[in-house]
A and B are shown apart, each in its own frame.
Chain A
Amino acid sequence: MIEAPAPLPPAATGLRGQARWRGLAGNRLMAAGGLMAALIVIVALLAPLIAPLPGDADTATHPFLVLHPPSARHWFGTDQVGRDVFSRVLYGARVSPLIAAAVLVFACAIGIPLGICAGYFGGWLDEVIMRVTDIFLAFPPLLLALAFAAVLPASLTSLTIAIGITWWPWYTRLIRGQAASVAGRAYIESCRALGIPRRRIILRHILPNSITPLIVQVSLDVGGVILTASALSFLGLGAQDPTPDWGLMVSEGESYFTTAWWVVTFPGIAILLTAFAFNLLGDGLRDLLDPRRDLLR
């Protein structure tokens, strides 16, 4: 006689209930984040069509319109050389997210191959790569990026390189752990026994099976990179005038802030909303794809 399956122990259902709550709470916030992020991308793509004064995102200046408060004509007012802040904020959506994308691609391009090598081959190679990441991780991220950006000539390219150099070790660590655990599984052993070339094992088996946590982490990092980049631009180490970078706009408006609040306020709100949107999205993605991951990486 076949026995009926035993009911699940209550502890298990309790756990599942909590996990479900985490997911549900995440989903609504994630949808909001996704919507905001999509809006920002649309604004970036359509900036030349929706900005009332596209020339103001460039070298145009208007000496007779300096620091006018928000009005029907200039929704966000004008800045210290008379440019329309609204147009510049819209164009700024083309700068920050693009820097974030470049930094993350750069960091993945260094971090993934190193992590795969360390995890798959192990031994002294693993030891060397991991000690190097230890050294990089001994700096808070903004600090090392600042040191690199300070010695490089100030430009968006330097900024991207400076942040990218500080960001890759996180990805190397993450991929290494995954790759090492995948490399120990039986099916990889069978691949080797079948004489499949090492290149193919790494590219077709190790990499795809190690990548999910990295995707989650990259999506969580978009907001952080945007904040780091805007902070460095605020310190004068990134974009240079007339680039419509939000951090730079806040920095330029700082001197006039007590009398002209709008020059600082609107670009700052843009940074906050962009970072918030991508953080909500990344947080929701983590709950969906990788719920066991802890918040400290």
Chain B
Amino acid sequence: MIVYVARRLALAVVVVAGVIALTFVVARVVPGDPAATWAGPHASAAQLAAARRFLGLDRPPAAQLLAYFAGILTGNWGVSIHTHQPVLSDIGTAAPASLELVSAALIMAIAAGIPLGLVSARWPGRSLDHAIRAGSILGVSMPIFWMALILQLVFAQRLRLLPAAGEYSSGLLFTHPLARHTGFDVIDALITGNWPMLGSTLSHLALPAVVVAAYPAGLITRLVRAQVLDTIGETHVQMIRALGFPERAVFGRFAMKLAWNPVAAAVALVFGYSLVNTFLVESIFDWPGLGSYTAASVSSLDTPAILGVTLFIALVYVAANLIVDIIQAGLDPRIRLR
């Protein structure tokens, strides 16, 4: 087990180094001449040379790459052009709201996807199975920025059932101020027993979380169905049946058991996807997370901010996959030997 963990960690370090190098390539090589952009369109040759020296572009590419690595490792991720703040501190401010949104969405997706997948696999070929299958494919086909706008129009503007935007009703700040402990509003409200605030944060979370949940819910439903159908024909499950366990237990307990591993892998995968999907949803719901930050960076052509977020999410994604791999290897000795 220790050998396996060490090997996976070493591989992750290589991948992370590659990820940093790739963002360097995107930042320095693709946009043509950053010095020209920096110095402006009417710069003289001398100003251009000065800009080149200032940005370190006169040094050999290998030295530039080393300087970039050193910057990333020491927490100097550059300065955002639109907020004029260090990119890393911007990310630190924005990340909790996004993580809260994505976690809520994944909890919903798992809560919906597993039962739907099981029901679908229980009666394959029936109309209920067709409906669930079509529904799950519809979930992964959803343009979520459009779904966000439609749900906002229907539930917030027309029916007035749910708030349209924001993290909580700002009026509550005067009567029930939110004490900051974790940076996650729902958790902060819960641990301080601030019930009106908790209600407000949950109702504000509902619409964006449902939108972000569409893709993972579809994916998990399809995965559980396929996995359970594969398992159900195997001898050990037939044995359970022959022993007279009720069908509910055959599916829910024994066939599902083998589906947990792929579901865990899928959750790690869609965790990264969903963080990126917040780019499309947060600005619509005025949710102050990474997505709103990135959307604003994109529209102001803020390259340091865009690459900082790209790097951050790639690191989270690598870490999530690593954690799931290690947990799975702990549960299933066969994986360690691969």
A binding-site residues for B, Cβ under 8 Å: 10-11, 14-15, 17-18, 21-22, 24-25, 28-29, 131-132, 134-136, 138-144, 146-148, 150-152, 223, 227, 230-231, 234-237, 247, 250-251, 254, 257-258, 261, 264-265, 267-268, 271-272, 275-276, 279-280, 283, 294-296
Q: Let me know if B219 and A295 touch, CB within 8 A.
A: yes
CA distance A164 to B215 in the complex (A): 22
- Partner of A280 from the list B31, B137, B262, B272 (CB cut-off 8 Å) is B137
Q: Let me know if A138 and B143 touch, CB within 8 A.
A: no
One digit per residue, 1 when the CB lies within 8 angstroms of any chain A CB and 0 when it does not, for chain B 50-79 equals: 000000000000000000000000000000
- Chain B residues, CB < 8 A from A230: 143
With A17-B233, A230-B143 in contact, do A151 and B124 touch (Cβ < 8 Å)? Answer: no
Known: A138-B16, A138-B314, A146-B306. 4 other contacts (CB 8 A): A140-B275, A140-B313, A264-B150, A272-B142
Q: Let me know if A140 and B18 touch, CB within 8 A.
A: no
Interface of B is mostly: helix
With A143-B310, A151-B27, A258-B153 in contact, do A283 and B137 touch (Cβ < 8 Å)? Answer: yes
- Partner of A257 from the list B130, B153, B219, B295 (CB cut-off 8 Å) is B153
23 contacts between A and B (CB under 8 A): A10-B238, A11-B235, A17-B233, A18-B124, A18-B230, A25-B125, A135-B21, A138-B16, A138-B317, A140-B272, A142-B273, A143-B272, A223-B141, A234-B143, A250-B143, A250-B146, A250-B149, A258-B157, A272-B138, A276-B141, A280-B134, A280-B137, A294-B223
- Chain A residues, CB < 8 A from B147: 268
- Chain A residue nearest to B11 in the complex (CB): A134
- Chain B residue nearest to A22 in the complex (CB): B229
Q: Let me know if A11 and B223 touch, CB within 8 A.
A: no
Interface residues of B, count at CB 8 A: 69
Interface of A is mostly: helix
CA distance A10 to B23 in the complex (A): 55
Q: Let me know if A11 and B234 touch, CB within 8 A.
A: yes
CA distance A28 to B124 in the complex (A): 13
- Chain A residue nearest to B230 in the complex (CB): A18
- Partner of A140 from the list B233, B284, B298, B317 (CB cut-off 8 Å) is B317
With A135-B22, A264-B149, A265-B150 in contact, do A146 and B262 touch (Cβ < 8 Å)? Answer: no
Q: Let me know if B262 and A272 touch, CB within 8 A.
A: no
A136 to chain B, nearest CB (A): 7
- Chain B residues, CB < 8 A from A138: 15-16, 18-19, 314, 317-318
CA distance A22 to B145 in the complex (A): 32
Q: Let me know if B125 and A24 touch, CB within 8 A.
A: yes
- Chain B residues, CB < 8 A from A276: 137-138, 141
CA distance A15 to B23 in the complex (A): 47
Which of A148, A251, A276 is most buried by chain B, counting CB atoms within 10 A of its CB? A276
- Chain A residues, CB < 8 A from B233: 11, 14-15, 17-18
- Chain B residues, CB < 8 A from A227: 141-143
A40 to chain B, nearest CB (A): 13
Q: Let me know if A146 and B298 touch, CB within 8 A.
A: yes
- Partner of A152 from the list B30, B129, B223 (CB cut-off 8 Å) is B30
With A140-B276, A250-B143 in contact, do A29 and B133 touch (Cβ < 8 Å)? Answer: yes
Name the interface residues of B1-42: CB closer than 8 Å to any CB of A. 11, 14-16, 18-19, 21-23, 26-27, 30-31
CA distance A254 to B147 in the complex (A): 12
- Chain A residues, CB < 8 A from B219: 295
Q: Let me know if A25 and B153 touch, CB within 8 A.
A: no
- Chain B residues, CB < 8 A from A258: 153, 157
- Chain A residues, CB < 8 A from B189: none
- Partner of A296 from the list B30, B223, B272, B301 (CB cut-off 8 Å) is B223
With A25-B125, A138-B15, A147-B306 in contact, do A234 and B317 touch (Cβ < 8 Å)? Answer: no
CA distance A271 to B145 in the complex (A): 11
